[in-house]
């Protein structure tokens, strides 16, 4: 039931005007809505899939990852959904059709991904497509009850096939490309001549809707699947009924023949969600595949006949499994998952959600599994954390002082379309939903005052009603079925969980969408406002971006949040949007908001290609010429940075670039390490940045030479503002400085260091600290740069500051800006210099000291951060240790305790593992250190 609703919505959907502003999209690496079609490429190396999420993905079956994404015009709601896709047998053409019909069928040159034509002719949604075996023709079936034959080369209509009395869901060609078969919801199939478009026969026998068709590539036998549960076989020349192959006990969702015509694979539209492989000769089941947990409408068999591909389930995954015995080989899926539960803590300070469906209860479909701390005046939005128990959380409430809510079946489709509002068990009002109103009531709740009812339904519908059943308004934003709703204890916020893999937060009264959260299964997450401003984990902004439509006849552009991070990574705006319950007010009160999302239509980040070397190539040159080709752009490229194995080797300003808006090429010489080299190339202009990741292998037997260590250790215990004194921060800096200086001649050739601490030669004043970090400018590409900070850090107005010894408070208890160190000063000192960079930070000694921007900025600059705490804990000092807990554990680790593999070397990942275990042991889990390393981080020796 869950997913088929999305396809039915088009019966009553009205056309909308394509959105003009860039549209924020989630890119989880996989599909996030119903998968409609899958097909193998002719060489069997790739799989192509199309989905209700409006995307076509090309998957590399060797790696299991998306290697290309085809995007076309899309809008809000259903505009742009893809309901049908086909790939020509020679791999030259890809066709895609869907909603709305006025945009036509997209025809792509598949090797290049270029959109070459729109085939217009249908007057309603296109739901089925197939190419002829000779690659010359395309047939399309539509909700307008017609099929159209197209000449692919001339890109024009040949014939309109008329006669069906209901929607056409299935089409196909016979192996000789001379006949076409169509299957319809009118319970029949029809066989047609390609040459003249004339009907050969009407194939009758099914007693319900015909949902799928497959044609044997060997003898042209037609297989049809119906909602009457049967699979029938027909003669492909005459249309004569041959036999009923099988009755699979549930509605047939999709059919695919094996290349040799001996086997038939079937998908499923209703439970149980098992896919079957049948022997065509005997009708016996060869394999039953039970890996999916929901509807499967997309099936395919590989060109060599070994593999089946089935797409569907609640996680919208494509399963690749053996046709012979049904063993799963791989799952092609993104990092997202449907959300089924949502709630607030009793005090309203925490939002929680769950990703597991356990029951069909509209008020409780599963446990709350994760939590997020909501912002306050002095705390930003937290990060998602696992939730150990959910007993003290407020969920949906279907009862209030003698009033109750209960849903029951109704409407034309038999879903829970009617919500009864009862008082003392007597019906006072009923709310019946039509298809365009969400089909049914999947989730519902009273507000805490009992005066308002919130109900979620299919297709993203959430509606508020008065207790008398009259409609108040809609909460617009979700694109998938809404499985859970909950209202905060104070009645101000609404939370919702959806099949679209997001959790949303709304102002209950104004119905404004304040926050949307996507939480990946890999731990990365991103949360954003309707203005496009976001907060995220270190790699979380790779999960979203903005699509820029260029018209129905052109491919759309896509700009990732990573490219726009300098403008839209704004945890302060996200926090204030929730606090003020208004995105507009949050943006108005923020600084540096001159660039808005609409500006992306005319100004974009750089676009460039790596001309040479080839990705994955090998070289014997230690100095590699890297040739880059920059596309024309009204905003010229200003800087290029290059990292090799996370070490910055080409700094901003080192590459002289022409101030040109037209296309040009530039060659940069890159020093390589022996062995594998992971290159990260970053080009920036006034709008944003673009990043390319590349691989080159340097064939060299030379040992990697040891570099130098550049260390600045800062510890502040005695503040001029006495109430802020710490006991051991200065001792921490001294001890760490001593331990790392002792590595000269061991892990490092030389150690260049500065110690700034109470009683040291240099006091940790603001001026001295800013001068000290100039030391890092001397580092080279093989060197390691370490900044250690122990003391107080504070957040003010979304900005993070380190408090030096001479920090001073104003009368209003705010810090004098001239007396504190802006985090950007320290960040720039690390970011602008060569080598690998490591930040050790122990500044979170108070509840508002953690700042997610510190971690994010460092991670984006490929700086490794080891933080003494996470966002929910504070750093502790212990008199029995005579150190802060973090530094004590760090010193113990450097003193060989972190040498997990006993090779007399301590690497960063070993140190991180040791710190996690040791600090948990010392604090009984009350302090949680965190390693923040850039994606693809290459471990290195620290001591």
Instruction: Count the domains in the chain.
Output: 4
User: Does 797 have pLDDT greater than 90?
Assistant: no
Enumerate residues 6+ apart whose C-beta is below 8 A from 917.
none
Q: Please check whether residues 783 and 887 belong to one and the same domain.
A: yes
Q: Please check whether residues 205 and 306 belong to one and the same domain.
A: yes
User: Does 853 have pLDDT greater than 80?
Assistant: no
Strand partners, 373: 350
> Could you tell me if 340 and 443 are in contact, meaning their C-beta atoms sit under 8 angstroms apart?
no
User: In the chain, pLDDT over 70 holds for what percent of residues?
Assistant: 97
- In this structure, is residue 902 part of a structural domain? yes
> Could you tell me if 481 and 5 are in contact, meaning their C-beta atoms sit under 8 angstroms apart?
yes
> Burial of 420 by CB count in 10 Å (0-12 exposed, 13-18 middle, 19+ buried)?
middle
Rounded to an integer, the average pLDDT of 795-814 is 86
- pLDDT, residue 846, reads 57
Q: Which residue has the tokens 């899926």?
A: 333
- From 332, 350, 379, the end of a domain falls on 332
Q: Per the structure block, which two tokens stand in for 24?
A: 């924020």
- In this structure, is residue 100 part of a structural domain? no
Model pLDDT for residues 87-125, shown as the tens digit of each residue:
999 999 999 999 887 889 999 999 999 999 999 999 999
- pLDDT, residue 848, reads 59
Rounded to an integer, the average pLDDT of 180-209 is 98
Give me the CATH number covering residue 384. 2.130.10.10
Q: Per the structure block, which two tokens stand in for 628?
A: 């880059």
* Sheet strands side by side (includes 199-203): 168-173, 179-184, 189-193, 199-203
Q: Please check whether residues 739 and 806 belong to one and the same domain.
A: yes
User: Does 425 have pLDDT greater than 90?
Assistant: yes
Q: What pLDDT band is residue 16 in, cutting at 50, 70 and 90? A: very low
Model pLDDT for residues 489-534, shown as the tens digit of each residue:
999 999 999 999 999 999 999 999 999 999 999 999 999 999 999 9
Q: Please check whether residues 887 and 760 belong to one and the same domain.
A: yes
Q: What pLDDT band is residue 850 in, cutting at 50, 70 and 90? A: low
> Could you tell me if 629 and 602 are in contact, meaning their C-beta atoms sit under 8 angstroms apart?
no
Q: DSSP of 99-112, one letter per residue?
A: S-GGG-EEEEETTT
**Using CA atoms, how far apart are residues 776 and 773, in angstroms rounded to an integer?**
6
User: Which is more confidently placed, 850 or 692?
Assistant: 692
Rounded to an integer, the average pLDDT of 871-888 is 91
Rounded to an integer, the average pLDDT of 365-388 is 92
Q: By mean pLDDT, which of 571-580, 584-593, 812-821 is the weakest? A: 812-821
Rounded to an integer, the average pLDDT of 855-864 is 86
Q: What pLDDT band is residue 847 in, cutting at 50, 70 and 90? A: low
Q: Please check whether residues 265 and 395 belong to one and the same domain.
A: no
- In this structure, is residue 549 part of a structural domain? no
- In this structure, is residue 222 part of a structural domain? yes
- In this structure, is residue 14 part of a structural domain? no
Rounded to an integer, the average pLDDT of 521-550 is 96
User: Does 12 have pLDDT greater than 60?
Assistant: no
- From 669, 698, 727, the end of a domain falls on 698
**Using CA atoms, how far apart are residues 352 and 284, in angstroms rounded to an integer?**
48
Mean pLDDT of the chain: 93
Q: By mean pLDDT, which of 58-72, 140-154, 156-170, 786-800 is the weakest? A: 786-800
> Could you tell me if 268 and 284 are in contact, meaning their C-beta atoms sit under 8 angstroms apart?
no
Model pLDDT for residues 283-303, shown as the tens digit of each residue:
999 999 999 999 999 999 999
Q: What pLDDT band is residue 689 in, cutting at 50, 70 and 90? A: very high
> Could you tell me if 724 and 707 are in contact, meaning their C-beta atoms sit under 8 angstroms apart?
no
Q: What pLDDT band is residue 796 in, cutting at 50, 70 and 90? A: confident
Q: Please check whether residues 167 and 313 belong to one and the same domain.
A: yes
**Using CA atoms, how far apart are residues 671 and 781, in angstroms rounded to an integer?**
8
Give me the CATH number covering residue 812. 3.40.50.1460
Helix, strand or coil, per DSSP, at residue 671: strand
Q: How many CA atoms lie within 13 A of 930 on its CB side?
A: 22
- In this structure, is residue 244 part of a structural domain? yes
**E strands present in 41-77:** 46-51, 56-60, 65-70
Q: By mean pLDDT, which of 467-471, 637-641, 867-871 is the weakest? A: 867-871
User: Which is more confidently placed, 651 or 232?
Assistant: 232
User: Does 557 have pLDDT greater than 60?
Assistant: yes
User: Does 706 have pLDDT greater than 70?
Assistant: yes
Enumerate residues 6+ apart whose C-beta is below 8 A from 704.
673, 674, 782
**Range list of H helices, 66-225:** none
Q: What pLDDT band is residue 401 in, cutting at 50, 70 and 90? A: very high
- pLDDT, residue 3, reads 38
Q: Dihedrals φ, ψ of 542, to 5°?
A: -75, -10
Element of type H or E holding 934: none
Q: Please check whether residues 237 and 316 belong to one and the same domain.
A: yes
Q: Please check whether residues 402 and 374 belong to one and the same domain.
A: yes
- In this structure, is residue 88 part of a structural domain? no
User: Does 859 have pLDDT greater than 90?
Assistant: no
Q: Please check whether residues 328 and 434 belong to one and the same domain.
A: no
- pLDDT, residue 779, reads 95
Q: Dihedrals φ, ψ of 259, to 5°?
A: -55, -30
- In this structure, is residue 724 part of a structural domain? yes
Q: By mean pLDDT, which of 369-373, 801-805, 811-815 is the weakest? A: 811-815
> Could you tell me if 569 and 861 are in contact, meaning their C-beta atoms sit under 8 angstroms apart?
no
- pLDDT, residue 918, reads 95
Give me the CATH number covering residue 686. 2.60.40.650
- From 459, 488, 523, the end of a domain falls on 523
Q: Please check whether residues 744 and 682 belong to one and the same domain.
A: no
Model pLDDT for residues 696-705, shown as the tens digit of each residue:
999 987 777 8
Q: Please check whether residues 803 and 849 belong to one and the same domain.
A: yes
What is the domain range of residue 661? Answer: 608-698
Q: Please check whether residues 315 and 442 belong to one and the same domain.
A: no
> Burial of 557 by CB count in 10 Å (0-12 exposed, 13-18 middle, 19+ buried)?
middle
Q: What is the CA radius of gyration of the chain?
A: 31
The reply to whether omega before 100 is within 30° of 0 (cis) is: yes
- pLDDT, residue 10, reads 37
């Amino acid at each position: 039931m869950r997913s088929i609703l999305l396809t039915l919505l088009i019966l009553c959907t009205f056309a909308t005007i394509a959105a003009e502003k860039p549209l924020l999209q989630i890119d989880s690496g996989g599909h996030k809505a119903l998968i409609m079609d899958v097909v193998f490429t002719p060489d069997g190396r790739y799989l192509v899939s199309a989905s209700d999420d409006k995307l076509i993905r090309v998957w590399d079956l060797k790696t299991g990852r998306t290697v290309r994404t085809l995007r076309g015009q899309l809008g809000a709601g259903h505009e742009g959904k893809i309901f049908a896709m086909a790939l020509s047998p020679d791999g030259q053409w890809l066709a895609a059709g869907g909603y709305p019909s006025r945009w036509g069928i997209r025809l792509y040159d598949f090797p290049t991904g270029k959109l070459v034509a729109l085939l217009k002719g249908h007057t309603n949604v296109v739901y089925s497509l197939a190419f002829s075996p000779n690659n010359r023709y395309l047939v399309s079936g539509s909700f307008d009850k017609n099929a159209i034959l197209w000449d692919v080369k001339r890109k024009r209509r040949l014939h309109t096939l008329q006669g069906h009395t209901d929607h056409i869901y299935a089409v196909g060609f016979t192996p000789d490309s001379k006949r076409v078969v169509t299957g319809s919801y009118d319970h029949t199939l029809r066989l047609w001549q390609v040459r003249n478009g004339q009907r050969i026969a009407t194939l009758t026998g099914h007693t319900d809707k015909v949902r799928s068709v497959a044609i044997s590539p060997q003898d042209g036998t037609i297989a049809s699947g119906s909602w009457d549960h049967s699979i029938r076989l027909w003669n492909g020349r005459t249309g004569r009924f041959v036999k009923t192959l099988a009755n699979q006990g549930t509605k047939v969702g999709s059919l695919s023949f094996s290349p040799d015509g001996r086997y038939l694979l079937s998908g499923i539209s209703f439970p149980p969600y098992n896919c079957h492989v049948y022997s065509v000769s005997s009708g016996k089941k060869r394999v039953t595949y039970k890996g999916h947990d929901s509807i499967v409408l997309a099936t395919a068999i590989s060109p060599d006949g070994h593999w089946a591909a089935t797409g569907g389930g609640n996680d919208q995954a494509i399963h690749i499994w053996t046709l012979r015995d049904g063993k799963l080989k791989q799952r092609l899926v993104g990092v997202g998952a449907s959300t089924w539960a949502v709630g607030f803590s009793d005090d309203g300070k925490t939002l929680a959600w769950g990703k597991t469906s356990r029951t069909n209860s509209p008020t409780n479909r599963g446990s709350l599994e994760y939590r997020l701390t909501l912002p306050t005046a002095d705390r930003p939005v937290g990060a998602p954390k696992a939730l150990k128990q959910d007993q003290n959380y407020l969920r949906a409430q279907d009862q209030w002082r003698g009033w109750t809510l209960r849903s029951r079946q109704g409407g034309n489709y038999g879903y829970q379309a009617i919500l009864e509002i009862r008082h003392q068990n007597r019906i006072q009002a009923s709310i019946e939903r039509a298809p365009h109103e969400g089909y049914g009531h999947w989730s519902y709740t009273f507000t805490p005052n009992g005066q308002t009812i919130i109900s979620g339904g299919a297709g993203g519908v959430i509606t508020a009603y008065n207790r008398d059943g009259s409609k108040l308004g809609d909460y617009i934003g979700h694109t998938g079925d809404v499985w859970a709703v909950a209202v905060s204890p104070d009645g101000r916020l609404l939370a919702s969980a959806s099949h679209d893999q997001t959790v949303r937060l709304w102002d209950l009264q104004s119905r404004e969408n304040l926050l949307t959260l996507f939480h990946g299964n890999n731990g990365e997450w991103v949360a954003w406002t309707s203005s496009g401003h976001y907060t995220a984990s270190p790699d979380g902004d790779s999960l979203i971006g903005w699509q820029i439509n260029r018209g129905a006849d052109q491919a759309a552009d896509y700009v990732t949040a990573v490219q726009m991070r300098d403008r839209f990574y704004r945890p302060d705006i996200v926090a204030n949007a929730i606090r003020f319950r208004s995105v507009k007010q949050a943006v108005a009160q923020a600084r540096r908001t001159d660039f808005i999302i609409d500006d992306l239509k005319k100004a974009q980040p750089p676009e460039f290609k790596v001309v040479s070397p080839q990705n994955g190539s090998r070289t014997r040159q230690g100095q590699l010429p890297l040739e880059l080709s920059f596309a024309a752009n009204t905003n010229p490229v200003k800087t290029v940075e290059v990292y090799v194995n996370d070490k910055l080797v080409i700094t901003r300003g080192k590459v002289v670039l022409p101030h040109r808006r037209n296309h040009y090429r530039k060659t940069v010489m890159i020093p390589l390490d022996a062995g594998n080299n992971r290159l990260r190339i970053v080009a920036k202009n006034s709008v944003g940045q673009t990043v390319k990741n590349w691989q080159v292998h340097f064939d060299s037997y030379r040992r990697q030479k040891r570099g130098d260590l550049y260390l600045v250790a800062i510890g502040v215990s005695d503040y001029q503002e006495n109430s802020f004194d710490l006991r051991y921060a200065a001792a921490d800096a001294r001890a760490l400085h001593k331990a790392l200086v002792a590595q000269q001649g061991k892990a490092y050739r030389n150690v260049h260091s500065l110690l700034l601490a109470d009683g040291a030669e240099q006091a940790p004043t603001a001026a001295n600290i800013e001068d000290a970090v100039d030391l890092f400018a001397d580092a080279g590409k093989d060197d390691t740069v370490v900044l250690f900070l122990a003391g107080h850090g504070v957040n003010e107005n979304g900005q993070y500051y380190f408090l030096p010894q001479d920090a001073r408070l104003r009368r209003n208890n705010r810090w004098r800006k001239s007396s504190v160190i802006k985090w950007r000063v320290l960040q720039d000192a690390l970011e602008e210099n060569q080598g690998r960079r490591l930040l050790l930070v122990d500044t979170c000694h108070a509840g508002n000291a953690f700042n997610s921007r510190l971690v994010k900025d460092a991670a984006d600059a490929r700086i490794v951060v080891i933080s003494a705490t996470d966002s929910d804990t504070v750093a502790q000092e212990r008199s029995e240790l005579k150190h802060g807990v973090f530094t004590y554990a760090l010193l113990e680790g450097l003193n060989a305790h972190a040498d997990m593999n006993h090779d007399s070397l301590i690497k960063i990942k070993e140190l991180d593992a040791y710190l996690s275990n040791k600090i948990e042991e010392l604090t009984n889990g009350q302090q949680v250190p965190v390693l923040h390393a850039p994606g693809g981080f290459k471990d290195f020796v620290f001591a």
